[in-house]
Amino acid sequence: MKTPRPLPVVTTSSSDPAAVPSRRQFCAHACQAASLVAVGALLPACGGGNPSSPSSVTSNDPLLANLNGTVSGRTVTVAVAPGGPLAAAGNAALVSSGLGSFLVSRTSQTTFTVLTAVCTHEGCTVDRFNGQLFVCPCHNSKYTTAGAVANGPANRALQQFASTFTADVLSFTA
């Protein structure tokens, strides 16, 4: 029968026995560090930060023309000038007012569609238009001129507001 070999003795410069972690402690710390790295890598994908500023998504879609709306109570009015961004059917603009920002598209000579400009994905301001779809600059969600989601990550339509158009003035209640 063989005699067991004596185990080597490890000495440290510290008299504290906790200075040398046990295998269990080492594994626990290694798992905690790996978990922190994994969570840190996922956080940017969750958004955060300022929702009105774009993330790493780049869009070549042109910015909408910005018009100022006048507010009276809950009603926003916008002058539609001949030769302006909303002069012809198929055109669109971003209307800024004290009640918020709105996407306006001219659907015919006498009708308009008015939508909230707040993206339903993370609340960014939708401010681009590719000629057919409104485009969010933050994560590239796309919406039809009626507000329906054409391409995510957004999964809810934009809120629509009824509008009237008389004597070159567009009015809607927000």
- Looking at residue 23, the DSSP 8-state letter turns out to be H
The H-or-E segment that residue 24 falls in is helix 23-42
133 belongs to a structural domain: yes
pTM score, two decimals?
0.66
| pLDDT of amino acid 30 | 66
* pLDDT tops 90 at residue 48: no
Q: Give yes or no for a contact between 169 and 80, defined as CB atoms under 8 angstroms apart.
A: yes
Reported confidence tier of residue 161, pLDDT bands at 50, 70, 90 = very high
> What's the confidence (pLDDT) of residue 8?
63
- DSSP annotation of 18 reads G
Say if 116 falls within a structural domain. Answer: yes
What value does the mean pLDDT take over residues 117-142? Answer: 89
Is residue 130 in some structural domain?
A: yes
- Counting every residue, how long is the chain? 174
Which of 133, 131, 132, 123 shows the shortest CA–CA distance to 156? Answer: 123
Could you tell me the CATH number of the domain that includes residue 82? 2.102.10.10
pLDDT of residue 104: 94
In a domain, 76, yes or no: yes
pLDDT at 112 over 50: yes
- Let me know if residue 141 belongs to a domain: yes
What letter would DSSP give residue 87? S
Looking at per-residue pLDDT, the higher value among 33 and 74 belongs to 74
Residue 15's CB is within 10 A of a number of other CB atoms, namely 6
Residue 103: closest CA among 77, 71, 127: 127
95 CB contacts (<8 Å, ≥6 apart)? Answer: 66, 67, 68, 69, 76, 78, 101, 102, 103, 104, 114
Whether 144 and 131 have beta carbons less than 8 Å apart is answered as: no
55 lies in a domain?
Answer: no
102 within domain boundaries: yes
Domain extent for 163: 65-173
Q: Point out the least confidently predicted range of 107-111, 142-146, 149-153.
A: 149-153
* Whole-number Å distance between alpha carbons of 135 and 144: 9
Residue 93 has pLDDT above 50, yes or no: yes
Average pLDDT, the chain: 79
- For residues 151 and 42, what is the distance between their CA atoms, to the nearest angstrom? 23
Domain presence at residue 165: yes
- pLDDT (average), residues 81-102: 92
Number of domains forming the structure of the chain: 1
| Mean pLDDT (whole number) for 129-144 | 90
